[in-house]
Amino acid sequence: MKFIYKGTFDNGEATSGSVDAADENEAFSKLADRGITVEKISVSALGGLDEKWKNLKNRYKTVKLQDLIVFTRQFATLFSAGIPIVTILERLQTQTQSKKLAEKAKDIRADVEAGSPLSVAFGKHKDVFSPLYINMLNVGEEGGVLDIVLGRLTTILETDMETKNRIKTATRYPKMVISAIVVAFVILLTFVIPKFVGIFKKFDTELPLPTKILIWLNSFFQNYWWLLIILAVGLVFGYKKVKKTKKGKDTIDKYSLKVPVLGDLMHKIYVSRIARILGLLYKSGIGIITGFEIVSEVTGNNILKSELLDIRDRVSGGTNIASAFVASPYFPPVVSDMIAAGEETGQLDNMLFKISDYHDEEINYSISTLSSALEPILLVFIAGMVLILALGVFLPMWDMIKVFQ
């Protein structure tokens, strides 16, 4: 909250101002550190509103993946140097660029100081730290390999960020082209078509269908633009609300894997992530059954989550891991073949890493050819927009030339 105060410095000079503090005692303490003797202090009239606004912003503020990577990397480095966890969290609180992450570090430090295990303290902040993050911390605490686990967590997060950045780079050109075409379409529809309408009305000629469509669109946008905004906002909120339900999330996740070009790429990313995390968990000493349960929580796709739980049940029933994967339609034969080799040689974790590396190569190739794969779709879209505009503008001009003749 914000407190308004009046007081004096040690030399007797009067001063006044405001200070942010959780309560009045903290406000007195902060002012005393500045050498101010408080004569009068009260909560700002806007203090309550400021606090509510701050809480609202923090609620919807997200932590960037890059900030989380730096946070985890620094945690691993400081812990490896033998610095106590409470001191590490205190330093991370002041060093991180993310205000929300700094607040989380402060709360976690308070819980750890009160005797809470690290994984339990992190587990109270699931809006920032994923189930994988929390489970891996638990493994590191119990196994005494927290620095190794934090390093592996950083690797996973860095791989995710690198993949996202490469996809953004590969889709940048198609996005720019589509945006330019849409802007051109809107400009023509808003400024050019109305000019033509005024000219066309002077001549008693039947307008072509494409021109009528453009005129109708222009009239619709001018008179019902507010309806489009409401519809867009409604679709966004509706999508988010449907996605929060299990049935809605299942449907979205199912069809997201079938989207042309991008669906296959996302499928490979999921398989690579599952194999790498499962290998890391298995190498850290976690049982394969528990590993399946943890991985299922961090796949990001409900269909694959359900499939992993089915595989877990088959393995629990006595089926070997390779055969359990063979029965799944969502994992290619190369996965079960390499897992079978890993089971036979006793190197399951290494084989899981090789599965991930294999799919990473496939992902790299798919990303590098993503622009080429999207070109046919892009060309069809551009051709359709240009055709509508060309027919809508030039056909009536051709009719007017015939009228003049």
| Beta-bridge mates of residue 16 | 6
| Beta-bridge mates of residue 44 | none
The tokens describing 297, both together, are 């929580």
What would the mean pLDDT of 176-182 be, rounded to a whole number?
82
Q: Which span out of 227-236, 283-292, 369-378, 393-402 was modeled with the highest average pLDDT?
A: 227-236
pLDDT at 30 > cutoff 60: yes
The tokens describing 221, both together, are 């946008």
How high is the mean pLDDT of the chain? Answer: 82
Q: What percent of the chain has pLDDT over 70?
A: 90
Complete domains list, the chain, with CATH: 2-59 (3.10.20), 64-148 (1.20.81.30), 262-368 (1.20.81.30)
Q: Is 4 helix (H, G, I), strand (E, B) or coil?
A: strand
Residue 253, burial from CB neighbour count under 10 angstroms (0-12, 13-18, 19+)? buried
Q: What is the DSSP letter of 189?
A: I
Q: What pLDDT does residue 59 have?
A: 58
pLDDT at 51 > cutoff 70: no
Q: What pLDDT does residue 47 have?
A: 52
pLDDT tens digits, 366-398:
888 877 777 787 788 888 877 877 777 777 676
Instruction: Region of 261 please: left (phi>0), alpha (psi -120 to 50) or beta.
Output: left
The arrangement of strands across the sheet holding 36-43 comes to 14-20, 2-9, 36-43
Q: CB neighbours (10 Å) of residue 49?
A: 11
pLDDT tens digits, 307-334:
999 999 999 998 899 999 998 889 989 9
d(CA 201, CA 162): 57
The tokens describing 48, both together, are 């309550």
Q: What pLDDT does residue 54 have?
A: 57
Confidence of residue 402 (pLDDT cuts 50, 70, 90): low
Structural contact between residues 205 and 384, judged by C-beta atoms closer than 8 angstroms = no
pLDDT tens digits, 239-261:
888 888 888 888 998 888 888 87
Q: What pLDDT does residue 218 have?
A: 79
What would the mean pLDDT of 128-157 be, rounded to a whole number?
82
- Residues whose CB falls within 8 Å of the CB of residue 145, separated by 6 or more in sequence, listed in order: 139, 284
The tokens describing 72, both together, are 């985890």
d(CA 100, CA 158): 20
Alpha-carbon separation of residue 323 from 59, 318, 354 (angstroms): 45, 10, 18
